[in-house]
Amino acid sequence: MNELKRAVEEIKMPDEVRKRIIRRCREERKTGSAVKKLRSKGLAALVAVVCLCLAAVVGAAGSGGFFRNILRWDGAVTGTEYEQASDEIELTAEVSGGELTVTAIMLKSDDVPYSELESLGVGSFRITGEDGRTVFEGGPTEMCAVDGGRAEIKIPLPDMAAGNYTLYVDAFTGGAKADQPLTIRGEWICTFDANP
């Protein structure tokens, strides 16, 4: 058990997860039942490998976005998408003159892919009312210029009653000269008021 405890202490993971694993090891030591089952070094090594795999999953869950290649049937790379970017773009929305102005602020504007983008548009979205029902959905929108790590994207709205609404964005589309559009995937939620 001491070898397992030392292995867990060397793994880089959130303190809460580490404390939970160590606490569980101590509980098992007190009862003695798990200690008897893990006497062989082979089983102890297996448990250590499982702990390392769990630590890798915990570490990956906290990481930022990443590029994913899109492969054609014959294995050729035909495009790239940027995944898990939810924490890298911040949204605000405001209704004015029959359209919704969505301001996308790139929180990592100096990092790739954001530093390379010249334009940005909403790839797909939906708007729900106070009751949670979808009142409007669409995409893609027109591409708007990126200036200083932010873009103001216009979405024409149908006639909507006054009230509070929620915008859900599943993807953005980024563009740069001589490059194919880049799909940026994540989950963004933003509330706004409509006052016709």
Domain ranges of the chain: 2-61, 66-194
- Tokens 């899109």 appear where? 70
Q: What's the whole-number mean pLDDT along residues 36-52? A: 48
Whole-number pLDDT of residue 141:
92
Q: Name the more confident of 153 and 20.
A: 153
Whole-number pLDDT of residue 181:
86
The distance between the two most distant Cα atoms of the chain, rounded to a whole number of Å, is 72
C-alpha dihedral (76, 78, 178, 106), degrees to nearest 10? -130
Of 7-21, 48-62, 164-178, the range with the highest mean pLDDT is 164-178
Q: Identify the band that residue 112 occupies on the pLDDT scale cut at 50, 70 and 90.
A: confident
Is residue 60 over pLDDT 70? Answer: no
The torsion region of residue 23 among left (phi > 0), alpha (psi -120 to 50) and beta comes to: alpha
Residues in the chain: 196
Cα separation, 18 vs 47, in Å, equals: 15
Is residue 190 within 8 Å of residue 167, measured between CB atoms?
yes
Q: Name the more confident of 79 and 124.
A: 124
CB atoms within 10 A of CB 32: 9
Q: What's the whole-number mean pLDDT along residues 52-69? A: 50
The torsion region of residue 178 among left (phi > 0), alpha (psi -120 to 50) and beta comes to: left
Q: Identify the band that residue 34 occupies on the pLDDT scale cut at 50, 70 and 90.
A: very low
Domain topology for 66-194? Immunoglobulin-like (2.60.40)
Is residue 37 over pLDDT 80? Answer: no
Is residue 14 over pLDDT 60? Answer: yes
Q: Which two tokens stand for residue 37?
A: 């089952």
Q: Identify the band that residue 26 occupies on the pLDDT scale cut at 50, 70 and 90.
A: confident
Is residue 53 over pLDDT 80? Answer: no
The bridge status of strand 163-175 relative to strand 150-156 is unpaired
Q: Name the more confident of 147 and 31.
A: 147
C-alpha dihedral (73, 75, 77, 80), degrees to nearest 10? 70
**Mind giving me the DSSP string for the chain?**
-HHHHHHHHHS---HHHHHHHHHHHHHHHHH-HHHHHT-SHHHHHHHHHHHHHHHHHHHHHT---EEEEEEPTTS-EEEEEEE--GGGEEEEEEEETTEEEEEEEETTTTSTTGGG-SEEEEEEEEEE-TTS-EEEEE-----EEEETTEEEEEEE-----SEEEEEEEEEEEEE-TTS--EEEEEEEEEEEEE--
